[in-house]
Structure 1
Amino acid sequence: MQNAFDLFQSIVLMQGTQCARRIHLENQLRKDLKGHPFSVAGLQSARESLRRDLDQLKVISTDDESRAVLALRELERANVAAERDREALEKLTSFTPTQSKLTQIRDDVADFYLTLQIDVTEVPVRVVERLPEPYASKGFSALTADMGDKRKHGIEPGIYFDESAISPFLADYFIAHEIIHVWLGFRSPDESCTLLEEGLAELLSIFGYVARTFGLAAAENLYKIFRLNSNAATRFESYVDGIRQALFTAESLGAVGQLIENARLGRPQLNAAFDRSLTSTHTESKIDGNPTQEHTGLETGAKVARSLLSSFPRSLVVSAPAFIVAELAHDGMTFRELAHASKLESDLVSSAVAELDARALVTLRRDGQVVSRNLAREHLERGHLRFDFRPVGSLG
């Protein structure tokens, strides 16, 4: 049964967050939110409950308390976003984790892809009580099966969802992404998925379908959180490397539409286009095809993707106490003044400042007790400095 946590998760993915590791934020709030209903009222009641608990803190003396303060702030941001964008909220709250709803999303995805000459109308989406083996025992919540899975495990091709793990917005993204793999699997059942294919699926799903359905800002926020912030495991890096390859190949071919034309011919042709791009010094001639309005929108999305990959700094992440200090510190501020302004205990302020100093995000006066310059401010103003729940003083 859906609850306030599912709504919060979806709003954060659409509207953005200052937390660099969504799993940290979700783990912090999941227990508190699950007892509240799937509605704006549910978010509000969860916020008030957490606020009452934190209002009792006179001084913030630990990492955990700092994390709770920032988690509450993100919950408050989600409440504001829900109240501000009623149209987006309606899309989320009207979601039901049912077969009919997932089929409706599949149909919408298929209609969008048809405008790009990608026919995925026959790809099934199935909601099941338990995923087929051997995947259920691996803890998966969703599965994309291709012809290889049918030969090896007897699983019919398509996209499978565990009915207990379906959430709004993510379901749209997942179907739009995974359906590209099924489409290519039908064309080239004996060929394996590559980084380039993952990148194509990312480009078409996030900067194509999600951007068209929820807005380009939502696509940008999803990509930041899902890919550019989710650098906790090497396997996530493959998606970033893949979209770089897809954008690089599209630029060499002359347009994203030409990358799609190569994909329509199958995985070997798609990969061959990438190989040619590696040695090409000029833009290739275009394969015949009629650009549509959706092609134009996709080119706009591709520009945003290139901009994010070129300009968004993935390394600017600090601990919760350091983030609080970075927000409040101004040039010439003493540690004592910082402690008063932030409600952080003096030892926690010292550790936070030391972390920022080691990261070259502040400079200190010679006596080490005054912030002579807060270099983090410009990163904050750009929305680049973020926090996660690493221990204060940690540099990685």
Structure 2
Amino acid sequence: MNVRRSAVVLAAAVSVIGVAAPAVAAPSPSPSATLPSGLYGSADPTYDGVWRQSLALLAQHMAGVRPAAEAVDWLTGQQCANGAFAPYRADPAKACDAKLPVDTNNTAAAVQALAALGGHYTATDKAVAWLKSVQNTDGGWGYAPGGASDTNSTSVVVGALTAVGDKPQDVRKGERSPYDALRKLALPCKGAGAGAFAFQPDKEGKLAANADATAAGVVGALGKGLVPAPGKETDTAATCAGAGDLSPRQVAANGASYLAKSVAKDGYLKSVLPGAADQPDYGNTADAVVALAAQGGVAQAQQPLRWLEKNSAAWAKKSGPAAYAQLIFAAYATGTDPRDFGGADLVRQLGAPGPASSTADLRDTATVKDDSDDGSDNGSGGVWWMVGAGLAAGAGVGFLISGRNKSRNKSGNKSGNKGQQP
């Protein structure tokens, strides 16, 4: 998933592949040089403020670091009254209007971050209600409300639903669920791009393999969020199999088989942006590591993981907080130490251009055993840093859902652990 997400960038990409782009308002003017003190990063946040903040908070939480209160407050202050989030609101005191381009991606990312941190039930409930209100008739979501469904947007919304304990298969528009939308965007197990996901169909309805969409689609089809725990290690590499109405897990396995083949030669994914030179795409490679590991292919994720450890430092430094977060997610998914990622301390580097976080190390607060850990290493590098950080595994599932239900019971709202299995 690219570091910067904006309506303008996505509309351009959709136009290139021949699909009608959703009608979106022009982006807000660039903010002044003085950025909010609670915001991570020093780059103009006009197009990615909420996205990078959400990923940064998630990554810190998963690494056992308590984010600064002002950083969390900045994110919650970006929410519109209807529950949605835009990429950036320069003046949160000003009510959102039709000129502010709210979208599903920033909203879903914010939900996952706030659900992981806990205690933000009103904000996440409103955001999820808005997401459900803009679900398309095919069961999926586009970037902007009313836009054609795409794999990336549908998958990040699935992660938000899971984060608050909803079952994605039960969130329907008519008879269609998010999994129905993802199945329609998956390529069959024959021909070019076998098993991959497309971003969207082209103007003729044809699907073309897209590695970025495939990495997102694998995680989405598994019903997981931006920071899934490693899946149970499989004995064999993922293979593309089946035809027709496949289960979400098989669709995910098919996508993982495409990713495994794509990174087998060089250890990385190449840029898929139109007109881009033949060069590595660091962010999509990190997402591929997460997808492979989540599907159960931790061993298959090792080659691109090692490549990132050796080659991603300059990219992350230039790209900022969201890039460091993506690398931390890749480390978490493979049981790798993000404080020694190719010799770099990703957690420290992430927190440097932002508000000071708590010095408390949450890893010392609890011991969590991963459900795929049978006492052996399984080649995953161990689960050392899941101690404490494991409290947030699944971005809202387990301990967090339990706390959510207790709060709801006290207030007389509905309760019940609604964790799901696709």
Q: Shorter-normalised TM-score: what interval?
A: under 0.3
Query: Taking CA–CA contacts closer than 8 Å with sequence separation of 6 or more, which of the two structures ends up with the larger relative contact order?
Result: 2
More strand by share: 1
More helix by share: 1
In the superposition, the TM-score normalised over structure 1's length comes to 0.27
Larger gyration radius, structure 1 or structure 2: 1
